[in-house]
Every structure is written in structure tokens, then in C-alpha cells.
Chain A
Amino acid sequence: MPKTVVVALVLALVMDLAPLGLGVAVAAEAEGAGAPLDWEHWHAGNEVANTASLQRGARNFANYCASCHSLKYLRYSRMASDLKIPTDLLKANLIPAGASPADYYTQTSIAPADAVNWFGKEPPDLSLIARSRGPDRLYRFLKTFYVDPSRPNRTNNLELNNPAMPAVLSALEGVKQAVFKNEESTVDGHTVVTKRFDHFVTLSPGSLSSEEFDGFVRDTVNFLDYAGEPAQVERRSIGVWVVLFLLTFTWMAWLLKKEYWKDVH
């Protein structure tokens, strides 16, 4: 019986850790070469236990997201202590003027009415976005913006069709055009043409290389994953000890049971 438990424990740990290894490999696919870009299967591959990555993500968020998006359930001070950011650095770089470290991450620069005027809706709070959408979809969203002149904000996205959010990271990533191919298939004797995404073409390069940008997005998604559940690293590290204790307890209970049941015939 304890063997089954060990197997279950190992399985759970593998299930938990599995996503970590996947993302790195699929990060930078060759653009436009041969097979269509397999963006639907991209994984974020972020590691919430990687504090350095979280720190970079917090920096990215402060620089590129926080002017419109809040994290209303996260306190600056909680973020600083979890991410091991010294208070002076926090105050100097990550907190808006006039805010205290104990405040929640709520100060944005955009007035809600302006946002509705400019984008059609208020930018959502991102505290739980990694929990409600999952890190993989956030990663795909941030990586698949492309030029679309038919849209009011001239951008579109593969993961989220017709987003209100413009391609705010295009200065880093560059501007991409999406190449679609028409696929013909026969349905009930009729020929149906479906527009299918094939690959991206870079129109103008950004300030980051494709690998650097991939790391930028992964760090940012990692930070959002952390913000969705700040206790998750602690949860897993406590969990290991709890499970080890319970395995020992169960093993001893088994020995006790065997001892008592010796005289049952």
C-alpha cells in the first residue's frame, strides 16, 4: 500500500512540475519556415519559484502594464517581501509617487472614462488573470499580436480575437504581420474555404531580439502567475513536508495494524 502512495506522490509532483520544462523548448519557433507556426500549443513554461524572473516580471509590469492595469489584491509590501526586493528599491522604482508600501497595487495613470473613450472598455484588474485564463493563454496573448488595419487600434491577436488592448509591447518585439492561408475542404459536397493562420512576418524589428522578447513575456506572465496566488511557492514547499509526515504516519499505522491483526484468524 505505501508503494502506491509513493507513486501517487511522485505523480503529483511531476504533474506540478511538468509545465516548467516545456516552455523553454517551444519559445522561439522559426518564423515562416515550412510548417505553420504552432502557436496554439505554446506553453508559458514559467517558474514561480524563480525569484529573479519574478523580479524582472515585476519590473516589466511596472513599466509596461501598470499605467492601465491594477493588481488590486496585491500589496506593494507583500510583493517586495515575496520577491526579495529591498524597500528602498521598491520605493524608488516600483511605487507611484505618494503611495505607501502597504497600499494595494491600484494606482493607474489612466482615468476610467478616458479608457472607455479610447479603448472601448476599462482595462481589467489583473490580480487573478493568471488564475482565470491560465499562464499559457496569457503567454500566447502577449506573443501573437499582429497588424490589422481593419481594427480601430490597428492591431489584432491570435489568442484573443479583436482585443481592446493595443500591441503595447511592439516597441520591444517589433511589428508583425500575420500571413493567413486559405484552406479548402469539402463539407457535405460543398467546397468550404477557411482562412487559417500560417506564420508571422516581421515588418519592423523591435529593440529586443526574439529570444529576449520571449524571456520578457515569460517573466511578465510569471509575475502575473505569482500575483494570482502569492502563497503558491510556500504552499508547495510546506506540502512536501506534510506529505512526508503523512507517509511516515501511514507506514507506522500500517505496522500497528499488522501487529494488532496478528491474532485475528
Chain B
Amino acid sequence: MASVDAPTQGGFRGWLNKRLPVDSFIRSQLLDYYAPKNFNVWYFFGSLALLVLVMQLFTGIFLAMFYKVGDTTAFDSVEYIMREVDYGWLIRYLHSTGASAFFLVVYLHMYRAFLYGSYKTPRELLWLFGMFIYLALMAEAFMGYVLPWGNMSYWAAQVIINLFSTIPVVGPGLVEWIRGDYGVADATIDRFFALHVVAIPLVLLLLVALHLVALRQTGSNNPDGIEIKEHPGPDGKPIDGIPFHPYYTVKDVFGIGVFLTLFAIVAFFVPTFGNLFMEEANFEPANPLSTPEPIAPSWYFTPYYAILRAVPNQRLGALLLLLAVLAYFFVPWLDRSPVKSVRYRGWLFRGFLALFTVSFLALMWLGMRPATGGYVTAARVFACGYFAFFVLMPWYSRRDRVKPVPNRVSFHA
């Protein structure tokens, strides 16, 4: 469209559009991109995840200007940032709070997909790209957590890297290869820095771009799980769609306002968030001779950590941890239901989704507790609940008594 009217444009804009498809891009991505009008609060988290990504990139750049990688310099340089760099404390707290905020919005974004079947046909690839983003984000967060070289950084690296030693045959050699030394050491922190600031951010950006392109191709799902493209009006536009700009841009700006307000409250008033976002043990420098009690990963990894510790056999535990994460990848093909949205699914699916929700949150809590007695038993029960949601999905999603799906989305102005 823009290619038609671009030549008639004069001035700088015409000059630019002849050489770069600026107008046509804005038109196709924002003005002529129709999104369902019935998005609810769950649909804020995609744009918020993008916002947090940009925030992490910017704060990360400034941190990297003052951070000094290396096992003897890293911890001191972080305190230098906190005390001597102008507003260094602010940049660091925004980055550390941003890490937790990233996982919070990504978890809510993923949960939205479970609620409304956003991973189902034709959005399987969109979901897969999202899952690869989640994997990359986990690697990014873990390596970033190691960089301050506090005692919890050190021991978390020790525990997580050692998980690879459970791989038969190549395990022990692989662990050494990852660490670059016989133990977690200077070589480890140096390579984690390179991966954290260069390699994984590049992968993340590429995956986010693919995620967005795939989204534009299929269009957004919505709380009713109805394909709005299948019901076009006389002008060819979906009846239940509205242009992304200005409607969703202004709505997202409001969502960003709410999010940033809550974010600022945490970053300025409770940056450690009661030991959840920054642990006390990490204000002591890495010490190979003193193990913090208990070693617990950051809150966003604790569900998987609880599953790992629930199994007495370490190799089996590591395998279950891997399966717990990989299970998400198969969801588009495990779900056999003819409807997408939970609104039109039956009680069977809703029951299993509730089971998954409770299990995930319970495992998250249990992963922060010591691995003793009743906690381990509880972790086993909830791990079963977690896996039941995935393993039994082909059965219960087909057996479920679904309701008829209407043609038009439900929307109350």
C-alpha cells in the first residue's frame, strides 16, 4: 500500500520512504494490524516482557561499564557500583529487580497461553519460539546471578553446573568443559560474563524477533479462543478486531504505568524483597570453604529445584528436572481439545489446570524450604501433580465436555 503512495510523497518523508519502507512498516505492523478487541488483563504481559527486556539491556550496558569480571575483582566492583558510581545503586537495583520481574511477567504470559489455548493451531511455532525464549532467559538469569561472585553465586554455579555430571559417559568431562577448570573458578566467571552480555542477549533478541513475526503471521489469540480473521466485515477487516494502534498502544501504555509503579516500589523500597530477589548470603564474597545453608536458587527456578530434590537418585532427579522444562514444548500436540479457551472447556480440563497451578506454586515454595521429611514428601506429591497435567493431557483434553464456541467474541465496552 505504501509502495503505491510513497512516490507521490514529497520532502524528506518521500525521500526516506523511497529508500526505506518506514510508512508501510508502521501501517502493516500497527495501523492495519487488527487485534481482537476483547483482550483482558492477561494480555498486558507480552508487551511488559518486551519492556523488561529493553530495560535489562540498557541497565546491563551501564553495569558492564563498571563491572570488573574476574574472581578477585567481581565482588569489589559490584560494591564499587553500589557506592561510588553515580546512581550505580539505582542501575543495579533496576537490573536485579528486572531479572525477577522478567520471570514474573513471562510466567504470567505463559499462563495466559494455558488459559486461552494460545499454543494451539495455528500458533504452535509462536509457542515454540516463546519456549526457546524461556530457555534462553533461564540461562541468562543463571549466568547473571553468578557474576556478582557472592557466596550464593558461587554455590549456585557449583550445584547447577554439577547437574550436567549426571549425564552418562560424557558428564564429568562436560562439567569440566563448562567450568573451564576443575572447580568453579575465574575461568567460569569470565565465560559466563561473555555469554551473559553478548551471546545469550543476541539469541534472545533473535528469538523475540521470530516470536513477534510469528505472532503477526497468525494474529493474536484472545480470551474466547475465536479466530477473528474467520469473521471479516464488509471491508475485509475482522469484525471483532481493532487496529493495534492507537487502541492497544494506549492501553499498553497504561499497563506499563501500572507495572512500572509496582516495579519502582520494589526497586526503591524493598530491592532485596525479603531475601527473594537478593539473598543475604550473596553479600558475602564467594567462599569455596563455606557453604551457605540452605543453598537455594532464585525463586523463579525453585519449582524445578524442588522436583530435582524430590527424587533420591540424582541422575533421575536431573532427568525429571529436564523433562519438567521440556514438557512445555509438547503442549501444542498434547492438547487434543477442539476448543482453545478455558471459557468453553469442561471441568476436566479446568480441574487439571487448577492442579497444575497449585502444584507449580507449591513446588516453588517447597524449593525454598530445606529438603527434609515432610517437605520432600510434599514435593513428590506436587511433582506428580505437575507431570499429570502434561502426561494425561491427551486423555483429559479429548474426554473433556466442551461447550459450543460462539462466532463472535464477548466484549463489554
The interface of chain A, by Cβ under 8 A from chain B, is 1, 5, 8-9, 12-13, 15-16, 73-74, 78, 127-128, 131-134, 228-231, 235-236, 238-240, 242-243, 246-247, 249-251, 253-254, 256-257, 260-261, 264-265
B56 to chain A, nearest CB (A): 18
Cβ contacts under 8 Å, A246 to chain B = 257, 260-261, 264
Centre residue among B79, B251, B265, B270 by max chain A CB count within 10 A? B265
Cβ of B254 within 8 Å of any chain A Cβ, yes or no, is yes
Q: Which residues of chain B (252-289) have a CB below 8 Å from chain A? A: 253-254, 256-258, 260-262, 264-271, 280-281, 283-284
Residues 72-102 of B, flagged 1 when their CB comes within 8 A of A and 0 if not, give 0000100110110000011001000000000
Bound Cα distance A247, B253 (Å): 13
Known contacts A73-B79, A128-B284, A246-B261, A253 near B253 by CB under 8 Å: yes
Contact with B269, one of A13, A127, A228, A257 (Cβ below 8 angstroms)? A13
Whether, in the assembled complex, B242 has its beta carbon less than 8 Å from a beta carbon of chain A, the answer is: yes
How many Å lie between the Cα of A242 and that of B267 in the bound state? 11
Cα separation A261 to B222 with both chains bound (whole Å): 18
Judged by DSSP, the binding face of A is helix
- Closest chain-B Cβ to A238's Cβ sits at a distance in Å of 7
Pull 13 A–B residue pairs with CB atoms less than 8 Å apart, ordered by A.
Answer: A5-B258, A8-B261, A73-B80, A128-B284, A131-B283, A228-B283, A230-B83, A231-B82, A243-B265, A249-B260, A261-B247, A264-B247, A264-B413
User: A15 touching B270 by the CB < 8 A rule?
Assistant: yes
State the CA gap A137–B254 with chains docked (Å): 42
Shortest A1–chain B CB gap in Å is 6
> Chain A contacts of B266 at CB under 8 A?
12
How far does the alpha carbon of A51 sit from the alpha carbon of B188 in the complex, in Å? Answer: 43
Point out the residues of chain A lying under 8 angstroms from B271, CB to CB: 235
Give the contacting residue for B251; candidates A73, A131, A261; CB below 8 A. Answer: A261
Q: Which DSSP category, helix, strand, loop or mixed, fits chain B's interface?
A: helix
User: CA A228 – CA B89 in complex, angstroms?
Assistant: 12
Separation in Å of the A73 CB from the closest CB of chain B?
5
Q: How far is the CA of A256 from the CA of B247 in the complex (A)?
A: 10
| B242 CB contacts on chain A under 8 angstroms | 264
A132 nearest in chain B by CB position: B283
Q: How far is the CB of A76 from chain B (nearest CB, A)?
A: 13
Give A145 to B281 CA distance when docked, in angstroms: 24
Residues of A within 8 A of B411 (CB): 264-265
Which B residues between 220 and 263 are near A, CB-CB below 8 angstroms? Answer: 242, 246-247, 250-251, 253-254, 256-258, 260-262
Which residues of the other chain, B, contact A260 by a CB distance below 8 angstroms?
Answer: 246-247, 250
Q: Does B112 contact A (CB under 8 A)?
A: no
Contact, CB under 8 Å: A250 / B258:
yes
CA distance A254 to B258 in the complex (A): 10
When distances are taken between beta carbons in the complex, the residues of chain B under 8 Å from A127 are 79
From B76, B247, B257, B269, contact of A253 by CB (8 A): B257
Q: Is the beta-carbon distance between A250 and B254 smaller than 8 angstroms?
A: yes
Residue on B with the closest CB to A74? B83
Which listed residue (B93, B256, B283, B413) contacts A265, Cβ 8 A?
B413
- In the complex, the chain A residue whose C-beta lies closest to that of B284 is A132
Please tell me if the beta carbons of B268 and A242 are within 8 angstroms of each other in the complex.
yes
Which of B83, B257, B281 sits near A73, CB closer than 8 Å?
B83
